[in-house]
Structure 1
Amino acid sequence: MTVPRRFLLIDDNPHDQLLAREAFAELCPDCHLTSASDGPQALEILQTTDDLPEVILLDINMPLMNGFEVLQALKTDTRLAPIPVVMMSTSGAPEDVTAAYTLYASSYLVKAQDFPAFVNQIECFLRYWAHCRTIHA
C-alpha cells in the first residue's frame, strides 16, 4: 500500500511546523508537506493550486480563523470537502473533539508533548493513511 504523498499542515506555531517537517523528513522523505500559518493562508493555497493535498492536518487554536472555522470552510467547498482533515491540537477537551467530528473531521489527535512521542504519533498517522484511500491520490 502506498502512503499519501501530499500533506498540508495548518498551524500558527512555527515550532510545531518545524517539528512536523522534521518528523515527516525522517519518516517519509518522499512526502511533500506544505505549511500554512493561518486559515486564510491555507484557503488561499488550496484555492490556487491544482495539486491538492491528500490529507490536511489542522490545528484548532489559531488567530484570524480558528481550526473549526477553517474546517467548516473546507467542508462547504465542493472541491475541498472530500479531502480528509485530521485535527491535531493540544486540546483534548471533549467539546473540541465533538465539535471537530460534528464538522466532519476525519480524525482527532492530541499533539504529543515531546519530539520522540510526536515522531511516533506521525509514524502511526502515516501508517494509518497508508491503508486508506483518498480521493486525490
Structure 2
Amino acid sequence: MNKALNILLIEDDEIEVMKFNRVVSKLKLNHKIIEANNGEEAIEILKTKDIVPDIIVLDLNMPKINGIEFLGILKADEYLKYIPIIILSTSNHQKDLLECYRIGIAGYVIKPLKYEDYVERITKLVEYWSLNELITN
C-alpha cells in the first residue's frame, strides 16, 4: 500500500516548484511538500527536526549553497545522512552524475523538456518512494 510522504523539495525556480506540486497533488495521497529555495534554507529546515522528510528532492544549480555542497553537508550529519536524496536537475553532465553518486544519492532524474514526460517521471519517482521501506525515527 502506498503511504503519504514528507518530501523536502529544494528548488530555486518557482515554476519548477509549481510543476512539482501540481504533479504530486494529482496523486491524491496527501504527500506533504516542504519547500526550500536553496540549500541554506533547507539546512535551516532540517536543523529544527520538526519534520524529518522521508525523501529529499534536490536541484543541483542553486544560489548560496549548490546541490553538491548541500549533499556534502547533509551526508556529514549523523542524524540526517540516511534520508534518501533524489537529484532533479537539468544537468546531464557525467561529472555531476558521478559526483552525486559518489557522495551517496539515491537517484538522479533529469528534468525533461516536455511537461508530459515530467509528469511521468515525477509520478514514478513519488510512487516508488511511497512503496519503499524508509527509516523512521
**TM-score, normalised on structure 2?**
0.94
Q: Contact 1:83/1:136 (CA < 8 Å) preserved in 2?
A: no
Q: Contact 2:10/2:35 (CA < 8 Å) preserved in 1?
A: yes
Which residue of structure 1 lines up, in the alignment, with residue 114 of structure 2? 114
Which residue of structure 1 lines up, in the alignment, with residue 93 of structure 2? 93
Alignment of 1:1-137 (within 5 A): 1-136=1-136
Q: Contact 1:4/1:55 (CA < 8 Å) preserved in 2?
A: no
Amino acid paired to 1:7: I
**Offset at residue 102 of structure 1 (A):** 0.6
Specify every segment of 5 or more residues in structure 2 that has no aligned partner in the other structure, as ranges: none
Once residues 100 and 3 of structure 2 are traced to their aligned partners in structure 1, the CA distance between those partners, rounded to angstroms, is 24
Once residues 79 and 25 of structure 1 are traced to their aligned partners in structure 2, the CA distance between those partners, rounded to angstroms, is 29
Residues 8-35 of structure 1: CA deviation (Å, up to 9, x unaligned): 0001111101111111111244100111
With over 3 angstroms needed to count, the CA separation of the structure-2 counterparts of 1:4 and 1:82, relative to structure 1, is: farther
Cα RMSD of the aligned pairs, angstroms, is 1.4
Instruction: Tell which deviates more after alignment, 110-119 or 6-15.
Output: 110-119
Once residues 110 and 28 of structure 2 are traced to their aligned partners in structure 1, the CA distance between those partners, rounded to angstroms, is 21
**Offset at residue 95 of structure 1 (A):** 0.7
Q: Secondary structure at the match of 1:83?
A: coil
Q: Secondary structure at the match of 1:65?
A: coil
Q: Secondary structure at the match of 1:117?
A: helix
Specify every segment of 5 or more residues in structure 1 that has no aligned partner in the other structure, as ranges: none
**Offset at residue 136 of structure 1 (A):** 2.6
Q: Secondary structure at the match of 2:50?
A: coil
Residues 44-101 of structure 1: CA deviation (Å, up to 9, x unaligned): 0011133201000000000111100001111101111010000110011111100100
* Structure 1 outlier segments of 4+, above 3 Å: none
**TM-score, normalised on structure 1?**
0.94
Once residues 48 and 19 of structure 1 are traced to their aligned partners in structure 2, the CA distance between those partners, rounded to angstroms, is 27
